[in-house]
Structure 1
Amino acid sequence: MLEIDADVVRWREGEPDGELLVVMHGIGSHEGDLFGLAPHLPAHLTVASLRAPIAYGGGFAWFEFSPVDSDDHAVIDEAAHAVLAWLDGLERRFSRVHLLGFSQGGAMAVQLARIAPDRFASIAHLASFVHAGELPGDAALAAKQPRIPLLTTIGDLDEVIHRDKIERSAPWLDAHFDVDRRTYHRAHSIVAEELADVVAFLQRAAA
């Protein structure tokens, strides 16, 4: 069973009894990568940057990499349930929980909302995709009123996220979230304009 290592979570404190932003990195990276964004994010949010539970190269992964689509949810659900268990084990309680994920971490963020659609207030889905196939929670996610706000971003030079995954994911996101879609002239990275859009999105979603 996969577990989130609570001892390596990187924290930035926000307002007491406020809102939590859970940050999930991409494949082959680590908890310190996206934590570099923390000084730029809305100050009232408590930020927790997680380490994925599977060793991968010199870093970590949330699930095994596949260049083609797979509708086997077992490969991603185990990590998603590990994140939910970590949240359940927190001594602190937050009024709302937001998710930010890059690449594999973005797929994880969407998967968490598919499994537990009532637990998350917003998602920043950066340079990422949606895991293929259907889940029992998808109908409840689409039926939520109001829908969960989701910022999804991609680069027109991104060669890491396969174009088929991008094209399949876009209409699925539109059918299940309140989507704000942005495209940037970049490869598989986060650029300054994108960070500014993430900050503005979180300021609206976590006001």
Structure 2
Amino acid sequence: MHEIDAEAVRWREGTGDELLVVMHGIGSHEGDLFGLAPHLPPELTIASLRAPLPYGGGFAWFEFSPVDSDDHELIDRSAASVLGWLDGLERQHDRVHLLGFSQGGAMAVQLVRLAPERFSSIAHLASFVHAGELPGDAVLAAREPRIPLLTTIGDLDDVIHRDKIERSTPWLDAHFAVERRTYHRAHTIVAEELADVVAFLGRV
């Protein structure tokens, strides 16, 4: 079954009415980024999801490709599973934000491309945009104000192919209100980056 395992979701209840959906990278799991939860704004309810596809010792949102692929089948199926999971929540939040690392960041952007009216911001960490065009892309580009997006990358990151970064950069600028940060790091999250994420979420 290509769906979100509701039993695997890691939750932190917030003091406000906004939800932050967290999506991990390829080969990881729902507990990985949940370690950031104590540092994130207390107003946010946090839900850290497990990707639906087994991959090595962890899970994936879609197939790994070191170079660009415009095959949307698996990523769209995963995005549909997240939207279905959101629809099934007993509590519907006033606003929904997205935070994704690596493949999870590509997923966050794909969700907004498919359902631009449903999401309020994206923290797009060490990631890229899935290639190809979708009907929601024009809606994103025309939206005023545009959805805020914080995108980060490391100058030592050798996991995200440079071609993907170079293609994704102008695409993000054309579709979101972008804040961009670069760090001296590999494919990971550093303290300075976490501080920028916290500040971004505080603003949005």
- Cα separation, 1, equivalents of 2:112 and 2:142: 13
1: distance between equivalents of 2:187 and 2:116?
28
Offset at residue 75 of structure 1 (A):
2.3
Identify the residue that residue 91 of structure 2 maps to in structure 1.
92
Query: Deviation digits for residues 149-194 of structure 1, max 9, x if unmatched?
Result: 0000000000000000000000000000000000000000000000
Which amino acid letter does the alignment assign opposite residue 41 of structure 1? L
Percent identity, aligned pairs only, is 83
In the alignment, structure 1 residue 5 sits paired with structure 2 residue 8:
no
Amino acid at match of 1:96: R
Task: Supply the RMSD in Å over aligned alpha carbons.
Answer: 0.6
Shift of 1:203: 0.2
Structure 1 unaligned spans of 5+: none
Equivalent position SS for 2:68 = coil
Aligned to 2:23: 24
What whole-Å deviation, never above 9, does each CA across 1:40-73 have from its counterpart, x for those lacking one? 0000000000000000000000001111111111
1:125-146: per-residue Cα shift (whole Å, max 9, x none)?
0000000010011000111110
Counterpart residue number, 2:142? 143
- Give the structure 1 partner of residue 64 of structure 2: 65
Q: Partner of 1:129: helix, strand, or coil?
A: coil
Structure 1 match to 2:196: 197
Secondary structure at 2:30's aligned position in 1?
coil
Q: TM-score, normalised by structure 2?
A: 0.99
Report matched runs for 1:22-61 at 5 Å.
22-61=21-60
Alignment match, 2:15: 15
The secondary structure found in structure 1 opposite 2:150 is strand
Normalised by the length of structure 1, the TM-score is: 0.98
Task: Letter of the 1:160 partner, please give it.
Answer: V
Partner in structure 2 of residue 114 of structure 1: 113
How far 1:100 moved relative to its partner?
Answer: 0.0
Deviations 1:83-141 (A, max 9, x none): 00000000001000000000000000000000000100000000000000100110001
Q: Which letter maps to 1:71?
A: D
Q: Which runs of 5+ in 2 are unaligned?
A: none
Counterparts of 1:142 and 1:199, CA distance in 2: 26
> SS state of the match for residue 65, structure 2?
coil
The alignment partner of 1:46 has SS state of strand
- The code of the aligned residue for 2:26 comes to I
Quote the residue 2:131 is aligned against. Answer: 132
Look up the match of 1:175: 174
Q: Which moved more, 1:183-192 or 1:62-71?
A: 62-71
